[in-house]
Chain A
Amino acid sequence: AQKVTQAQTEISVVEKEDVTLDCVYETRDTTYYLFWYKQPPSGELVFLIRRNSFDEQNEISGRYSWNFQKSTSSFNFTITASQVVDSAVYFCALSEDNNNDMRFGAGTRLTVKP
Chain B
Amino acid sequence: GAGVSQSPRYKVAKRGQDVALRCDPISGHVSLFWYQQALGQGPEFLTYFQNEAQLDKSGLPSDRFFAERPEGSVSTLKIQRTQQEDSAVYLCASSSSGQWASIYGYTFGSGTRLTVV
Chain A residues within CB distance 8 Å of chain B: 4, 6, 33, 35, 37, 42-47, 50, 91, 93, 95, 97-107
Contacts and interface: CB of A to CB of B under 8 A. Distances in A.
Interface of B: 3-4, 33, 40-45, 48, 55-56, 58-59, 89, 91, 93, 100-111, 113
Nearest to B93: A45
Contacts of A43: 89, 110-111, 113
B105 A47 contact: yes
Nearest to A33: B103
7 contacts: A33-B103, A44-B108, A44-B109, A91-B42, A100-B56, A106-B42, A107-B40
Given A35-B105, A45-B108, A107-B41, A101 B89 contact: no
A16 to B, nearest CB: 28
Contacts of A97: 100, 103
A95 B103 CA distance: 6
Contact of B45 (A4, A6, A102): A102
A100 B102 contact: yes
Contact of B91 (A4, A45, A101, A106): A45
